[in-house]
């Protein structure tokens, strides 16, 4: 069997140690049998055909700007079945002005009350299923991400707010998504909000969450083929770009 192919693209704000995080992800994927390409330029998103041939795209890029055509290439690839999976600001605080990216990923970071060093619990949902199998609730001392989240996502893990005080803390307590999945076309999207620094990504629970999320997201193309074989009417589905007027 051919090995699955993953592309990791790292860059953006260096406070998130993107190079180190990309190296951890590379090790995780290679130990799972992936053929991995690591890039430090968004130009890697310029070649639509190359993206479409992948099984998984892993963005590790906080607070940058992306060419709209390149964002569209990623979106189109994912809609065709390529998975996208990432963590923390590297996927959901990547391109603040690009709503199409946010529509695809399912969320955008907006705050981390208390900043780094807040101790909080990550609660795994009992119905999280195989993606988070083997991982129990755990505590972490890091940034607690407050995100604006697509209501269509499937939430697999949460953390309760408020922990640190702030203007949000007079609201009722809320269970903020930490891990979610969603579909984008037939592609699979996986996100975990942990990962402020490389040492957090190295935590056994976080690494396992990412490993199992990568596996799931990368299997979208194969499972789409199986679905298409089972139901040939999938063949005339139009690709939705959704990008005609939002990023002029």
Interface residues toward Zn ion, by CB under 5 A: 143, 196
CB of 75 to Zn ion, least distance (A): 25
Q: Nearer to Zn ion by C-beta: 36 or 192?
A: 192
CB of 224 to Zn ion, least distance (A): 33
Q: Nearer to Zn ion by C-beta: 36 or 157?
A: 157
Q: Nearer to Zn ion by C-beta: 22 or 54?
A: 22
Residue, CB closest to Zn ion:
196
CB of 116 to Zn ion, least distance (A): 7
CB of 143 to Zn ion, least distance (A): 5
CB of 15 to Zn ion, least distance (A): 7
Written as one string, the DSSP assignment of the chain is: -PPPEEEEEEEE-GGG-HHHHHHHHHHHHHHTT-EEEEESSGGGGS-HHHHHT-SEEEEEEES----HHHHHHHHHHHHTT-EEEEEHHHHHSS-TT-HHHHHHHSEEEEE-TT-TTEEEEEEEPTT-GGGGTT---EEEEE---EEEE-TTSEEEEEEEE-SS-STTTTSPPEEEEEEEEEEETTEEEEEE---SSHHHHTSHHHHHHHHHHHHHHHTHHHHHHHHHHH-GGGGGPPPP---SSS--
Q: Nearer to Zn ion by C-beta: 9 or 201?
A: 201
Q: Nearer to Zn ion by C-beta: 100 or 143?
A: 143
């Amino acid at each position: 069997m051919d090995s699955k192919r993953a592309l990791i693209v790292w860059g953006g704000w260096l406070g998130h140690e993107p190079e180190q995080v990309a190296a951890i992800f590379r090790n995780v994927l290679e130990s799972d049998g992936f053929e991995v390409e690591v890039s430090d330029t968004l130009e890697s998103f310029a070649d639509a055909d190359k993206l479409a041939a992948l099984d998984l795209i892993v963005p590790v890029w906080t607070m940058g700007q992306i060419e709209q055509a390149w964002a569209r290439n990623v979106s189109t690839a994912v809609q065709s079945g390529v998975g996208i999976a990432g963590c923390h600001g590297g996927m959901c605080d990547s391109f603040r002005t690009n709503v199409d990216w946010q529509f695809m990923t399912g969320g955008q970071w907006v705050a981390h009350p208390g900043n780094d060093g807040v101790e909080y619990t990550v609660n795994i949902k009992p119905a999280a299923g195989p993606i988070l199998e083997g991982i129990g609730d755990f505590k972490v001392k890091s940034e607690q991400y407050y995100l604006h989240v697509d209501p269509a996502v499937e939430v697999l893990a949460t953390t309760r707010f408020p922990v640190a005080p702030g203007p949000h803390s007079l609201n009722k307590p809320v269970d903020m998504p930490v891990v979610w999945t969603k579909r984008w076309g037939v592609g699979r999207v996986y996100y975990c909000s942990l990962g402020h620094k490389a040492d957090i990504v190295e935590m056994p629970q976080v690494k396992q969450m990412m490993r199992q999320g990568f596996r799931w997201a990368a299997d979208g193309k194969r499972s789409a083929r199986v679905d298409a074989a089972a139901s040939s009417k999938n063949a005339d589905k139009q690709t939705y770009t959704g990008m005609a007027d939002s990023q002029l």
